[in-house]
């Protein structure tokens, strides 16, 4: 029947299951005959095609996915769950200091000023080159650091300063982020000032009674006034806060390099214009109740020497040892360490932390204040100045019978040199060495550092000097980086004043060196040195020459230099002492323990000083407790409950005596007595 016939499909419509053509079918049959019955699985074929890069990308992707998944779940869960789990394991959490002191009836009284340290304050772009299109008022420093990964060379270009002036390069303006948000968090989730701010708010503080003295931490202290009028703004804000709070003086809380910056400010504000702020000799006495320095590197940090000399610290040196050459290669079109050195050597502020006082403070070839330091004999209890000399006499005598670590040798070329007696070291003076051109670096002008102008003769001369003490480190840096140090020497000084009444010390280059300037005439003011102890802190380095290559940094920390005896404190080419992981206790504590204690030539009005040490106790569970509430680490101490409580009590009106005076766990008083500095 005709109605049962299938309709012929239209010419433009393809059949759903096309029949193979006879010729193609014959070819397929021939292939099947030639192909063995055993077939290679498709998954195996795919695995063969995977490269090392594919595996790396897959691994990184998995790690990132798991991390973000866990982070999402952590943030999605009720806030009480981590605390509930932690309390079930470790017991009840103590009340935060703000809650505890609020229950005691403490209320906001004195206005509080925060002075952030180096690298912890946010910086944002106000003007840039074409590569920075779309980044107006976006953070280049702090926040997510997204631009580091997206456009690294552009980021380095905009974070660098002019190598001649130490100020903005043409066409670039990077400025500090204003307000409390400038340094509350360094990156999302990593607090700096946020915990202290939140606890102060518990007893009634708010933005009108708290001020973040944000500044561009890259440039020299005096240049923050020349370019941004930052010192004038701090002066005006303190005056306004005091005036609007019934005349109650301010409590100033500097952290890290901020302690040096505020020391500079106290001299600037009293000095006559135009060099100073014109506030007069009694300005500090009228406006400041207390200066509570947290981790202040008053006498400098050896870590700054290794950073300027080879763009390294112990963590970077270890990374180089794990992956040799990785940090020197053209990774993502950026020779990592070379660009870091090029950028950081334009930051004049780094030179403010070069060790001050030379061999008198830091020791010489055969002695140092910390000689005899033994971690295994370290005290675990609180003591004060009266206890220290007697308590440690036996330790000092016992240590003399052992091989004493020569901490005074900040840089030694070779472990054998670091341990040898000074009479066995044959030194060839580098200061008169003739520098030559290094032909290997003629193609490296985009990552130019001053090493490229030294030549092989100059590099060899540095290594043949063998060992450098604190007094010689400044000469070393002047030799290897003369342009950088020319800027630094115009803004900072590293000596000890013979006569503080000499008119030359009225110059601003001396104002941030506590050994070359006087404290203000403010006998009712108090100064605190508050810092962590109980963490190995970099004090001296073992170096070696790097293998010669194109665009290289000629010196690096010798991570093969280790010592089995833990009391010798040598690991990965770094000698360590007691401190907060960044600032040795000697630098943070000496001035308040001895240099400013009582009426001295550095403290003629007899401002009361206190040493408050916080013994490091790491969190028992990093996931549940974060960075801990008893940390003594350089930045993590900002969340230390005991330190926060001390600050809140002083802000609410307490004095140092009411806090209990000195609180000491290290040998800072014993070490201070070994320093023979006329006071």
List, by residue number, the catalytic residues.
256, 580, 634
- Token readout for 437 is 């051109």
DSSP 169: P
Q: Residue for token digits 């000032």?
A: 193
Residues 213, 234: Cα–Cα separation, whole Å: 6
Rg of the chain over CA atoms, in angstroms?
31
Report yes or no: 123 and 106 within 8 Å, Cβ to Cβ.
no
Q: Is 484 helix (H, G, I), strand (E, B) or coil?
A: helix
E-only strand ranges, 145-222 = 173-176, 185-187, 190-191, 210-212
How many residues appear in the chain?
A: 679
- Token readout for 363 is 């020791």
Q: Residue for token digits 């403290």?
A: 603
| Sign of the Cα pseudo-torsion (600, 602, 605, 611, in order) | negative
| b/e per residue 265-288 (b: at least 16 CB within 10 A) | bbbbbbbeeeebbebeeebbbebb
Report yes or no: 142 and 177 within 8 Å, Cβ to Cβ.
yes
Distances (CA, A) of 418 to 365, 366, 467, 573: 9, 10, 8, 10
Strands 570-571 and 574-579: antiparallel
Report yes or no: 408 and 360 within 8 Å, Cβ to Cβ.
no
Residues in a beta bridge with 528 = 292, 610
* CB atoms inside a 10 Å sphere around CB 292: 26
């Amino acid at each position: 029947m005709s109605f049962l016939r299938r309709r012929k499909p239209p010419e433009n419509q393809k059949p759903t299951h096309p029949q193979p053509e006879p010729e193609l079918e014959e070819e397929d049959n021939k292939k099947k005959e030639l192909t063995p019955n055993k077939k290679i699985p498709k998954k195996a074929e795919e695995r063969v095609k995977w490269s090392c890069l594919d595996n790396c990308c897959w691994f990184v992707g998995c790690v990132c996915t798991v991390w973000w998944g866990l982070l999402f779940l952590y943030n999605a869960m009720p806030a009480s769950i981590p605390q509930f789990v932690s309390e079930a394991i470790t017991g009840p959490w103590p009340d935060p200091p703000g809650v505890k002191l609020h229950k005691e009836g403490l209320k906001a009284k004195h206005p509080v000023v925060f002075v952030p340290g180096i690298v912890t304050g946010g910086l944002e772009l106000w003007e840039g080159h074409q590569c920075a299109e779309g980044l107006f008022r976006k953070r280049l420093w702090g926040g997510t650091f997204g631009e580091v990964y997206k456009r690294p060379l552009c980021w380095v270009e905009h974070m660098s300063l002019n190598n001649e002036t130490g100020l903005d390069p043409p066409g670039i303006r990077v400025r500090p982020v204003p307000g409390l948000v400038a340094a509350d968090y360094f990156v999302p989730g990593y607090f700096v000032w946020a915990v202290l701010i939140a606890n102060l708010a518990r007893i009634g503080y708010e933005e009108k009674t708290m001020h973040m003295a944000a500044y561009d931490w890259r440039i020299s202290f005096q240049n923050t006034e020349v370019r941004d009028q930052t010192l004038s703004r701090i002066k005006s804000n303190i005056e306004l806060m005091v005036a609007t709070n019934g005349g109650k003086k301010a409590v100033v809380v500097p952290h890290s390099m901020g302690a040096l910056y505020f020391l500079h400010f106290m001299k600037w504000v009293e000095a006559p214009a135009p060099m100073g702020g014109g506030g007069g000799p009694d300005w500090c006495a009228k406006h400041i109740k207390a200066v509570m320095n947290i981790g202040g590197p008053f006498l400098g940090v050896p870590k700054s020497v290794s950073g300027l000399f080879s763009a390294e610290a112990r963590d970077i040196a270890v990374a180089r040892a794990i992956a040799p050459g990785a940090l020197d290669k053209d990774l993502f079109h950026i020779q990592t360490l070379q660009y870091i050195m090029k950028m950081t050597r334009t930051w004049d502020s780094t030179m403010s932390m070069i060790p001050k006082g030379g061999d008198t403070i830091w020791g010489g070839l055969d002695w140092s204040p910390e000689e005899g330091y033994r971690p295994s004999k370290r005290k675990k209890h609180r003591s004060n100045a009266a206890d220290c000399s007697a308590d440690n006499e036996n330790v000092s005598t016992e240590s003399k019978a052992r091989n004493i670590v020569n901490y005074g040798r900040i840089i030694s070329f070779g472990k054998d040199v670091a341990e040898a007696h000074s009479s066995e070291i044959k030194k060839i003076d580098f200061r008169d060495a003739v520098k030559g051109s290094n032909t290997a670096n003629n193609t490296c002008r985009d990552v130019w550092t001053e090493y490229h102008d030294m030549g092989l003769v100059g590099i060899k001369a540095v290594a043949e000097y063998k060992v450098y003490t604190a007094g010689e480190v400044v000469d070393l840096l002047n030799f290897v980086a003369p342009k950088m140090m020319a800027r630094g020497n115009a803004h900072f000084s590293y000596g000890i004043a013979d006569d503080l009444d000499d008119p030359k010390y009225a110059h601003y280059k001396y104002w941030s060196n506590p050994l070359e300037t006087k404290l203000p005439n403010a006998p009712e003011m108090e100064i605190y040195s508050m810092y962590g102890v109980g963490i190995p802190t970099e004090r001296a380095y073992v170096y070696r020459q790097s293998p010669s290559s194109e665009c290289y940094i000629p010196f690096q920390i010798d991570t093969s230099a280790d010592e089995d005896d833990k009391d010798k404190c040598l690991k990965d080419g770094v000698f360590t002492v007691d401190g907060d992981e960044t600032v040795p206790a000697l630098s943070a504590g000496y001035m308040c323990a001895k240099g400013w204690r009582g009426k001295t030539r550095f403290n003629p009005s007899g401002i009361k000083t206190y040493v408050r040490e916080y013994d490091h106790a790491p969190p028992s569970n990093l996931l549940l407790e974060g960075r801990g509430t008893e940390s003594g680490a350089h930045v993590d101490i900002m969340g230390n409950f005991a330190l926060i409580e001390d600050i809140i009590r002083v802000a609410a009106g307490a004095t140092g005596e009411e806090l209990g005076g000195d609180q000491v766990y290290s040998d800072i008083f014993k070490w201070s007595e070994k320093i023979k500095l006329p006071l």
